[in-house]
């Protein structure tokens, strides 16, 4: 069985600062994929970043980057130069099927203060 754990219900960050969201996962599969999704108040699910477990290099998308520690089963998200528009719920997710059947974590609410 797969599990995804996000232990931070809420994180607060000032504009232009950096915040790191933690995520740990558990799987018995050797092939899997990890994701971070953003859900703003509109509740639309927006893909932030995707990481293939077989790739050692950490994925990066502009101000968003991950720290993927495979042995520790850790997949944290760093948001640099935080902007007001980054305020949202962030979900960590895992799948063994490239893009299918996600197992989501409980989510972390990011609050950005001016």
Partner 1 sequence: GAVVSQHPSWVICKSGTSVKIECRSLDFQATTMFWYRQFPKQSLMLMATSNEGSKATYEQGVEKDKFLINHASLTLSTLTVTSAHPEDSSFYICSAQGQGHQPQHFGDGTRLSIL
Residues that bind partner 1 (CB under 8 A): 42-45, 47, 91, 98-107
Q: Could you tell me the smallest distance in angstroms from the CB atom of residue 71 to partner 1?
A: 26
Return the SS3 of 18. coil
Q: Could you tell me the smallest distance in angstroms from the CB atom of residue 70 to partner 1?
A: 21
State which residue, 85 or 100, has the beta carbon closest to partner 1. Answer: 100
**How far, in Å, CA of 51 to CA of 56, rounded?**
9
**What are residue 66's DSSP bridge partners?**
77
Q: Could you tell me the smallest distance in angstroms from the CB atom of residue 16 to partner 1?
A: 27
State which residue, 14 or 98, has the beta carbon closest to partner 1. Answer: 98
State which residue, 7 or 44, has the beta carbon closest to partner 1. Answer: 44
Q: Could you tell me the smallest distance in angstroms from the CB atom of residue 47 to partner 1?
A: 7
Q: Is the dihedral of CA 7, 9, 13, 16 positive or negative?
A: positive
Where in 1-114 does DSSP place strands (E)? 3-5, 10-14, 19-21, 24-26, 33-39, 46-52, 60-61, 64-69, 74-79, 88-95, 103-104, 108-113
State which residue, 64 or 104, has the beta carbon closest to partner 1. Answer: 104
């Amino acid at each position: 069985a797969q599990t995804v754990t996000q232990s931070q219900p809420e994180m607060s960050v000032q504009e232009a600062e950096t915040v790191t969201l933690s995520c740990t996962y558990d799987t018995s599969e050797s092939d899997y994929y990890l994701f971070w999704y953003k859900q703003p108040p509109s509740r639309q699910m927006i893909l932030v970043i995707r990481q293939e477990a077989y790739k050692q290099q950490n994925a990066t998308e502009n101000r968003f980057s991950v720290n993927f520690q495979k042995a520790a089963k850790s997949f944290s998200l760093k948001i640099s130069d935080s902007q007001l528009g980054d305020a949202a719920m962030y979900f960590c997710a895992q799948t063994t099927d490239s893009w299918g059947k996600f197992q989501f974590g409980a989510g972390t609410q990011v609050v950005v203060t001016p």
